[in-house]
Chains A and B, each alone.
Chain A
Amino acid sequence: MLNPKEIKKKFPILNQKIHEKPLIYLDSAASSQKPQQVIRKMSSFLRTDYANVHRGVHYLSQQATDKCEQVREKIQKFINAQSSSEIIFTKGTTESINTVAFSYCQSLKPGSEIIITEMEHHSNIVPWQIACQKYNLTLKHIPVLTNGELDLKAYTKILTKNTALVAITHASNVLGTINPLKQIITQAHLIGAKVLVDGAQAVPHFKVNVQELDCDFYCFSSHKLYGPSGIGILYAKKNILDTLPPFQFGGGMIETVTLDKTTFAEPPLRFEAGTPPIEAIIGFGAAIQFIEKIGLDNIHRYETALIQYAHQKIKKVSDLQIIGTAEHKVSVLSFVLKNIHAHDIGTILDQEGIAVRVGHHCAQPLMQKYQIPATVRISFGLYNTFEEVDILIQALNKVKKIMSLPKSPKGDD
């Protein structure tokens, strides 16, 4: 079993007080904190190994190039892709999705359909809306059931021979729901549609195997995975990648350029225009190494126990409603308190040193579905503890006390 107290020590930022209270960081779904190992690796790289990649014959440039390519291979193994050329470095999940939306969609027949779901993050909604306008495609969505699971019967109905692509999150950043991808992908493939998976909230929590899933595209960001921000990947099956046009243009992605014509490099470089965030790639690699040493199975087991404990405890707080009670969840939990707005809860918890996220979590359609303006979301990383859940519960009771009016018209001060 994983020892969170020992792990916590490896994250320098977590060892501090906020408003004179020990920091309890419950916002890892927005971005996780970084272990010493990642910070050190990035800083030593910058101190002794840094140079631009791909362009130099000099020693440092070759070293930097090799190190970045090693990270690509590490990521390939991490998600079990067939080849490292199927891994494209991007700025993160958002850029990965945009790449597919504006590259893959170009060649679709007008009238083709794209299916998303009601639980998507804005970054897996907006690019499709714009691509649909641009290429005359139709956008449909799979509704979410009250418990936070997808309405798969509805999916079967909207999946037609016109469906070109299903873009779906692996795990919801608001509800925590882990979607039954295997089934969704099999159904899509039966009618010839491709599937893109937004894995931003999945990869930090459990082992992902893209070949077993058989998804066509998979996206995630390093910053939710204990790595630096500004870097992420797009995985795409090689046979698809070979046919895709580039989405951004410039240096690094070309084969030859004359003043009036350019031929493009082979994937993955074709999709990596411009200088990448080199030190972030190095940090990304260190983060994966960190996670693999602990083991995603251990992480998953521990976090599942932790989220179940949190559910049990939080459920008992009166006037509290948990939003999202799917059977299979990652360690994300959203709730609302009757008559107390999420923003007020966030401020009071902050004064207790507890960092939570409040708001619509970039999932406004989901808020509209539940007819709520906002939720409080707690999300765990591998450094959170059962004790922290207990402190959170005490703090929630304090919230209720602060926000309640005295019974008598003239309250005691």
Chain B
Amino acid sequence: MNNRLENLYQETILEHNKYPKNFKKLEKCSSCAHGVNQLCGDDYYVYLNLDKNNIITDITFQGVGCAISKSSASLMTTLIKGKTREEALNLKECFINMLTQNNCSQQCKTCLGSLKLFESVKKFPVRVKCATLIWRALEKALTTTSIPKGEGINQKGDQK
């Protein structure tokens, strides 16, 4: 079978896709952000709680999308919980660098840890947006305070 595909759809990724972690709405959250990928309709909300010491005490996500975006979101939530805002933003930088730059620093690589799984996405340029979508939403949630309007996820648009 095609190696590039096997590297893209690794078992861990497929597992997070099928059994996403922290996949729920956080009823009481201090911040929430919406991320949409127009191209394929990936659509997620990220919810988090930031305490007064700027520590992310809880983070969840909800929405619909492809295996890459969903597993990326799931893995992100597991890694971000307990981190400070600074640390989270730094990790976001590293992750996006890994997928969009040619020379990701050694320091970056160390800091990425299990996120290196997603390095193979780089070989599929149209899919980079899928992997980074939730991280961009995280950035929004950490840098703005407002809760987006109408953050319902299951669009039941059946107009009657």
- B23 touches A (CB below 8 Å): no
Specify which chain A residues have a CB less than 8 angstroms from the CB of B5 in the assembled complex: 347-348, 351, 402
- B148 touches A (CB below 8 Å): no
Specify which chain A residues have a CB less than 8 angstroms from the CB of B15 in the assembled complex: 405
B13 CB to closest chain A CB (Å) equals: 10
B7 CB to closest chain A CB (Å) equals: 11
Specify which chain B residues have a CB less than 8 angstroms from the CB of A403 in the assembled complex: 9, 14, 67
Pick out which of these stretches binds chain A: B72-80, B81-89, B108-116, B151-159: B151-159
A343 to B128, CA, bound (A): 12
Assess the A143–B159 pair: CB atoms within 8 A. Answer: yes
Specify which chain A residues have a CB less than 8 angstroms from the CB of B160 in the assembled complex: 143
A373 to B43, CA, bound (A): 9
A342 CB to closest chain B CB (Å) equals: 7
- A339 touches B (CB below 8 Å): yes
Assess the B124–A373 pair: CB atoms within 8 A. Answer: no
Assess the A371–B124 pair: CB atoms within 8 A. Answer: no
Specify which chain A residues have a CB less than 8 angstroms from the CB of B141 in the assembled complex: none
Assess the A344–B67 pair: CB atoms within 8 A. Answer: yes
Specify which chain B residues have a CB less than 8 angstroms from the CB of A401 in the assembled complex: 1
Given A343-B42, A344-B9, do A351 and B157 touch, yes or no (CB 8 Å)? no
Specify which chain A residues have a CB less than 8 angstroms from the CB of B64 in the assembled complex: 373
B129 CB to closest chain A CB (Å) equals: 10
B126 CB to closest chain A CB (Å) equals: 8
Pick out which of these stretches binds chain B: A48-56, A209-217, A358-366: A358-366
- B4 touches A (CB below 8 Å): yes
- B2 touches A (CB below 8 Å): yes
Q: Mark A215-237, 1 if CB is under 8 A from B, else 0.
A: 00000000000000000000000
Q: Which of B2, B18, B43, B156 is in CB contact (< 8 Å) with A351?
A: B2
A177 CB to closest chain B CB (Å) equals: 18
Query: Considering only CB atoms, which chain B residue lies closest to A369 in the complex?
Result: B158
Given A343-B130, A358-B40, A373-B41, do A402 and B1 touch, yes or no (CB 8 Å)? yes
Assess the A371–B156 pair: CB atoms within 8 A. Answer: yes
A202 to B133, CA, bound (A): 37
Specify which chain B residues have a CB less than 8 angstroms from the CB of A19 in the assembled complex: 2
Q: How many residues of B contact A (CB 8 A)?
A: 33
Given A342-B40, A360-B41, do A368 and B65 touch, yes or no (CB 8 Å)? no
Assess the B41–A359 pair: CB atoms within 8 A. Answer: yes
Specify which chain B residues have a CB less than 8 angstroms from the CB of A143 in the assembled complex: 159-160
A404 to B40, CA, bound (A): 21
A344 to B67, CA, bound (A): 7
Q: Mark B116-160, 1 if CB is under 8 A from A, else 0.
A: 000000001011001000000000000000000000001111111
B119 CB to closest chain A CB (Å) equals: 16
Specify which chain A residues have a CB less than 8 angstroms from the CB of B157 in the assembled complex: 365, 367-369, 371
A181 CB to closest chain B CB (Å) equals: 23
Specify which chain B residues have a CB less than 8 angstroms from the CB of A42 in the assembled complex: none
Assess the A359–B39 pair: CB atoms within 8 A. Answer: yes
- B46 touches A (CB below 8 Å): no
Specify which chain B residues have a CB less than 8 angstroms from the CB of A342 in the assembled complex: 40, 66
Specify which chain A residues have a CB less than 8 angstroms from the CB of B11 in the assembled complex: 405-406, 411
A40 CB to closest chain B CB (Å) equals: 32
Specify which chain B residues have a CB less than 8 angstroms from the CB of A367 in the assembled complex: 41, 157
Query: Considering only CB atoms, which chain A residue lies closest to B65 in the complex?
Result: A341
Specify which chain A residues have a CB less than 8 angstroms from the CB of B65 in the assembled complex: 341, 343, 373
- A72 touches B (CB below 8 Å): no
B9 CB to closest chain A CB (Å) equals: 5
A358 to B68, CA, bound (A): 15
- A141 touches B (CB below 8 Å): yes
A277 CB to closest chain B CB (Å) equals: 27
Given A402-B6, A405-B18, do A374 and B159 touch, yes or no (CB 8 Å)? no
- B96 touches A (CB below 8 Å): no
A92 CB to closest chain B CB (Å) equals: 21
A341 to B68, CA, bound (A): 10
Query: Considering only CB atoms, which chain A residue lies closest to B11 in the complex?
Result: A411
A348 to B127, CA, bound (A): 12
A–B pairs, 29, beta carbons within 8 Å: A19-B2, A118-B159, A342-B40, A344-B66, A344-B67, A347-B8, A347-B124, A351-B2, A351-B5, A358-B40, A359-B41, A365-B157, A365-B159, A367-B41, A368-B156, A368-B158, A369-B159, A371-B154, A373-B41, A373-B65, A374-B40, A374-B41, A401-B1, A402-B1, A402-B5, A402-B6, A403-B67, A405-B15, A411-B11
Known: A341-B67, A347-B127. 15 other contacts (CB 8 A): A19-B2, A339-B18, A343-B65, A343-B66, A343-B127, A351-B2, A351-B4, A368-B157, A369-B158, A373-B41, A373-B42, A373-B64, A403-B9, A403-B67, A405-B14
